[in-house]
Amino acid sequence: MIDPERLPEHVGIIMDGNGRWAQKRGLPRYAGHVAGAQVFKTIAYYARDIGLKNLTVYAFSTENWSRPQEEVSRIMKVLEEFIDDALNTFEKERVRIRFIGDLSVFSGTLSEKMNRIVDVTKDFPGLTLNVAMNYGGQHEIVHAARKAAELASKGLLKPEDITPESFGKMLYFDDCDAVDLVIRPSGEKRLSNFLLWQSAYAEFWYSDILWPDFKPKDLDQAIIDYQKRNRRFGGV
């Protein structure tokens, strides 16, 4: 059983395996993204119900643009449909939603909807859901480095003032705590440029389950395994 007193403060999920899930069923790859979006919503609500405070999900990476154009277009459509649905359901369910990544590349309509749902849900207590879109961990660190360099060029920041704590506040969100647990279904065992800075001391949980088959019980198992581990953070 999950110990509610020892929940991870911040969980990251790499939602992987949508395309393979569809191909195994003789379906076009985008059908997997549609199914994955429904699972995402189920897991988000379940995470809120069990008391998680911060959940970050990898929805679309900076490298995903290299996929076939038709698949990228379908993914963008799924994302827009998800946001349309979320404007109703997430407001009703009182889940705070934010987007991290370089959002400047998205269309005016999609961008407007993203800004609207962020504004509508910004004061909701409980779960904060960060959706990583056009996100890359390396890009986020470069973004922070450029911000530090700009401040230094204006005489507002001294090199000796740059610490892990101060640099961390220059990332996309200055209140996005370190990740305690990273979950990756689909059988792959790598970070894939996800939350590189925040995952410095994260615990990892891998599974062969493809994301559209991921269930609340799988999140339970990941958290139970996490709670069995001895986190030393470089100490003894």
The gap between the terminal CA atoms of the chain, to the nearest Å, is 27
- Which distant-in-sequence residues (6+ apart) come within 8 Å of 75 by Cβ? 30, 33, 60, 64, 67
Two structure tokens written together for 163: 């610490």
In order of 26, 45, 101, 212, 221, the CA distances from 215 in angstroms are 22, 12, 27, 8, 10
Q: Which of 3, 18, 49, 64 is catalytic?
A: 64
Give yes or no for a contact between 95 and 55, defined as CB atoms under 8 angstroms apart: no
Q: 64 catalytic, yes or no?
A: yes
* CA-CA-CA-CA torsion sign (214, 217, 223, 226): negative
Please tell me the distance from the alpha carbon of residue 101 to that of residue 146, in angstroms, as a whole number.
15
Q: 85 catalytic, yes or no?
A: no
Question: In the chain, what's the furthest Cα-to-Cα distance?
Answer: 59
Give yes or no for a contact between 100 and 131, defined as CB atoms under 8 angstroms apart: yes
Please tell me the distance from the alpha carbon of residue 101 to that of residue 191, in angstroms, as a whole number.
16
Residues that are catalytic = 16, 64
